[in-house]
Structure 1
Amino acid sequence: MNRRTFLTTATAGAAALTAALPLASASASTRGRPASDSAPLRTWFEATYRSMTAMTTELGLTADTMDVSGTGTPVPSTQTSPTNIGCGLWSTVAAAGLGVISGSVMHRRLARTLAAVEKLERAHGFWFNWYDAYDGSVLTSWPGTGDPVRPFLSTVDNAWLVTGLKIAADADPELRPRIARLLADADWSYYYTPYDPTDPVAGPGQLRGGFWPDKPGKGEPTGHHYGALNTEPRMASYLGIADNSLPAEHYWHLFRTLLPGMGQEQEPEGSYVTIDGVQVWEGHYTYRGRKLVPTWGGSMFEALMVPLFVPEAAWSPYSWGTTHQRYVRSQIEHGLYEAKYGYWGFSPANIPEGGYREYGVDAIGMQEDGYNSLGVVTPHASFLALPYAAPEALANLTALARDFGAYDDRYGFRDSVDTANGRVSDYVLALDQGMITAALAQHLRPGLLQHPFRTGGFRSRVRPLLGKERFSI
């Protein structure tokens, strides 16, 4: 269920609801909350948080998945990841900030999870990709199949756990010293390959996907670096730049698009500019007449998970803010007008019939064999769109709940819906539910989870970079 492991509908649906609603601008969506949307969104938050607490074991670790199709008490999966644990942490802080739980309950839950995280085996200051959520042991065989699992230190998964820990420390001063001791060992330079102007292929100034630490020295690295800027691993880049373990120039060595002439989804337009002494290809794609910076695969979470925490649109309104807005509009138009599903919102998710795969809009991703939508809509994508198209997101979610029964008051929205055959996933996933809780917290109480990423090194080192960004859109 790991995103980084490359592995009868009502046709009026959301289109009918959306037709009567204008597209909200990013600035308008943060000035006030229409009375008509606050009540259902709060109800949805409470149900989603129930799923997160149900997925959290007695040890305090939030499991990866949970089957919610039965009538009895669902059982969380055996496995958990650093991302899942981070989602559990920030969801609890969000629940307290919205008044769903008390401050004392928040403290007890955060402290329990922190105690478990402190005991987890680590290497090179970072956490392994898979643990047993019930006893905290590192997984070396996959639950259910027994297939071997080679312990791995994932760049992006560790970024989401560090994000959750930072949010917990900000919300609960009593836990700050313990969290600070944990994070003192998380040096992002471990993943970094410095830029080599004589050989930028071998030395791209980018982060590795991760390391298998069972080899001498640093371990065995992945064969790839995270080169695309508009993807979720940029959270690791921001964290490293903010704490000074990565040089600021790393940001400029990431690709807005691949360079002209390289194999990618479309030949980009743009120009070279020099920023902070680095020559940057400020490329863009055009989709349905709209210029934007693509993601790698064309999925929603790649573009819009990071700005749940880092205020990219506020710090870079004419670059990041503009491309986020256009990315959401592109997803909407693909679902409603190009593919004519009647619904929209495409992002990696549970396959409704079982399993997991990446879904997206192929034309707005760089990968030549990119993610396809296939009519499978995932609710978390609409929640990610709230800052940029709140009325349309609300309409889409309402339609998914009404037309397919994709929502129930016990545990919130199921992970995905096949709009062609009406099949609804039996599962909720911690990562996707965690995006929903963060998006709802940001919508209902703007800035609730963002304080750690608006201050300190984020303000002094990351914000100036975003202020200099000049996407060619």
Structure 2
Amino acid sequence: MRYSRRIALAAVITLTLTGTGAAGTAARAGERNPLSGAPVRAWSADTWRSMAAMVVPSTGLPADNIGGELDPATRARYTSPTNIGSYIWSAIAARRLNVIGEREQTERVRRALDGLARLPRHTDSGQYYNWYDPATYELIRVWPTSGAPVQPFVSSVDNAWLAAALMVTRNAIPRLRAQANALLSGMDFAFYYDPAARGADFPAGLMRGGFWVEPPEGCSTAGNYPGRGPDVYYTCHHYGAFNSETRMIGYVAIALGQVPQAHYFGPWRTFPATCDWSWQEMLPVGQERTYFGVPVFEGAYRYRGLQFVPSWGGDMFEAMMPNLFVPEERWGPKSWGRNHPVYVRGQIEHGMNEAGYGHWGFSPAADPFAEYREYGVDAMGLDGPGYTSDRERTTVDYGFGDCPGRAPQPEPTSYGDGVVTPHAVFLAARYAPAEAVAELTRLRAQFDVYGPGGYYDSVAVRSGTVAKRYLALDQGMVMASLGNLLGGDVLRDAFTRGGGERLLRPVIAVEEFSL
């Protein structure tokens, strides 16, 4: 399923490895930064070209995706809050990288903000719905490609990415501060916050996946946490795993002062090491600690000599995308500062050694063989079935101690047609810059994976099958990565100025993952 359509639980990764600090395998003092070469500048300009091509000229809003030749006729006829946010922060990154000028940056972002003001949204929460027509501003009620009915849904994580873009805008483009604040001030993330999600006596709550305004088919639960307006119909699940893109909801809500700081410690790092939780990927190791009055099981997984806090599916964007806006490795030197380099190392280890693809970088992406699919390193995710790295869905099962029905299974003797996505490599570049540049160079040399808008979305490395498409979300991650790495952490600085520094940094700073 597409990223903003899927409803996933979420997860977290702890690390346990020596020899790599917060800089990972980055160049040592005095060595040339591998990311400073000319190809990286070309990647920035070409990637921005794909983002600009997705924009509908009449509205200034981006489509969800576009074909590999950047033909306007191949623009998708739908967009989401995440796509619009991706375009906004990409424009800011492009300006910092000198790909576009200040006037163009300001005009593009201003038009996108004008468009956001015209989109219908849920009145009582100020939150945006999930799907709009970027050419008409209309809420999508019939899916453009299939004709299937669409019941408007309000997604917590998609609204978080849009809010992040607005928070960046108000600090990065002072001329647009009032316009960005006007949109942001109406967005109330307390609508998703269930303070009793882990029990009435547990001192931290969880976020819901989102809600419908009218009762949907299937599972939902009526409620209204702020008590403002009529009840909505919440998803039956909460986001319960920590090392996931969904932690961005908490980052935004805490930085805006809308939920308690203790919420940061509500999601599970891994789920408990008891048979009640034996559906998860493997038996975790770890210990209990308490922060801000909240007991936390600092669980970790072990994989090929590495120890870390897992993500939900073992993919790169869950683990690394929030890090584009929050300097996690700096603010949390004993948690994220240790975990992120190890997580990247695990992805490299899987692709280069365990699976033997000769390539690495696994994350949900346009599928070379279909529309969209989640890819990851199964062993590095909490989900038992896992996101797999190959088309054949080759899984692992390490068992769960002596729990019934969870004896370990033999490990795979081989893997199939592995699917890698360039955006995962860009996300990893902060912690493994030399390896990232080498992998991106290999991909371009061995496959038809580069087009007029930069790297295509994914490639199956054994068959050479390429998904020749550009996705706003994935290209936005590439632009954000390059903007931060070559532009002085432009997006991180703009996002965290104010409430992020004051309210979010203290909770991130105190935690220590299990080593």
Match of 1:232 in 2: 245
CA drift of 1:370 comes to 0.8
Taking the aligned partners of 2:26 and 2:147, their CA distance within structure 1 comes to: 51
CA drift of 1:452 comes to 2.7
Deviations 1:293-317 (A, max 9, x none): 0001111000000111100001112
Match status 1:359 vs 2:375: yes
Q: For the Cα contact (< 8 Å) 1:294–1:364, is it kept in 2?
A: yes
CA drift of 1:353 comes to 2.2
Judging changes above 3 Å, is the alpha-carbon distance between structure 1 residues 304 and 200 closer, same or farther for their aligned structure 2 residues? farther
Q: For the Cα contact (< 8 Å) 2:204–2:265, is it kept in 1?
A: no
Where does the alignment leave 5 or more consecutive residues of structure 2 unmatched? 8-19, 216-221, 223-229, 391-417
CA drift of 1:279 comes to 1.0
CA drift of 1:376 comes to 0.4
Match of 1:25 in 2: 23
Q: For the Cα contact (< 8 Å) 2:281–2:382, is it kept in 1?
A: yes
Judging changes above 3 Å, is the alpha-carbon distance between structure 1 residues 246 and 30 closer, same or farther for their aligned structure 2 residues? farther
Match of 2:16 in 1: none
Query: What amino acid is aligned across from residue 219 of structure 1 in structure 2?
Result: V
Query: What amino acid is aligned across from residue 279 of structure 1 in structure 2?
Result: P
CA drift of 1:172 comes to 1.6
Match for 2:430 among 345, 365, 387?
387
CA drift of 1:204 comes to 6.7
Q: For the Cα contact (< 8 Å) 2:206–2:238, is it kept in 1?
A: yes
Match of 1:283 in 2: 299
Taking the aligned partners of 2:27 and 2:49, their CA distance within structure 1 comes to: 26
Match of 2:64 in 1: 64
Match for 2:268 among 255, 258, 264?
255
Match of 2:14 in 1: none
Taking the aligned partners of 2:134 and 2:240, their CA distance within structure 1 comes to: 32
Match of 1:165 in 2: 166
Judging changes above 3 Å, is the alpha-carbon distance between structure 1 residues 37 and 97 closer, same or farther for their aligned structure 2 residues? closer
Match of 1:405 in 2: 448
CA drift of 1:242 comes to 1.1
TM-score where L is the length of structure 2: 0.85
Match for 1:424 among 459, 462, 466?
466
Match of 2:95 in 1: 96
Q: For the Cα contact (< 8 Å) 2:34–2:433, is it kept in 1?
A: no
Taking the aligned partners of 2:96 and 2:193, their CA distance within structure 1 comes to: 35
> What SS does the corresponding residue of 2:307 show, helix, strand or coil?
strand
Q: For the Cα contact (< 8 Å) 1:24–1:390, is it kept in 2?
A: no
Cα RMSD of the aligned pairs, angstroms, is 2.1
> What SS does the corresponding residue of 1:131 show, helix, strand or coil?
coil
Match of 2:77 in 1: 78
Aligned pairs for 1:7-406 (under 5 A) are 25-26=23-24, 28=26, 34=33, 37-58=36-57, 59-69=59-69, 75-123=74-122, 124-195=125-196, 198-199=199-200, 205-215=205-215, 217-261=230-274, 262=277, 263-374=279-390, 375-406=418-449
Deviations 1:435-458 (A, max 9, x none): 000001111122111123332111
CA drift of 1:197 comes to 6.8
CA drift of 1:61 comes to 1.0
TM-score where L is the length of structure 1: 0.92
Q: For the Cα contact (< 8 Å) 2:121–2:129, is it kept in 1?
A: yes
The alignment-based identity, stated in percent, is 44
Q: For the Cα contact (< 8 Å) 1:29–1:388, is it kept in 2?
A: no
Query: What amino acid is aligned across from residue 93 of structure 2 in structure 1?
Result: A
Taking the aligned partners of 1:303 and 1:175, their CA distance within structure 2 comes to: 31
| Count, aligned residues | 456
CA drift of 1:196 comes to 6.4
Where does the alignment leave 5 or more consecutive residues of structure 1 unmatched? 8-21
Taking the aligned partners of 1:296 and 1:346, their CA distance within structure 2 comes to: 13
Match of 1:443 in 2: 485
Q: Which range moves more in the overlay, 97-106 or 338-347?
A: 97-106
> What SS does the corresponding residue of 1:450 show, helix, strand or coil?
helix
Query: What amino acid is aligned across from residue 281 of structure 1 in structure 2?
Result: F
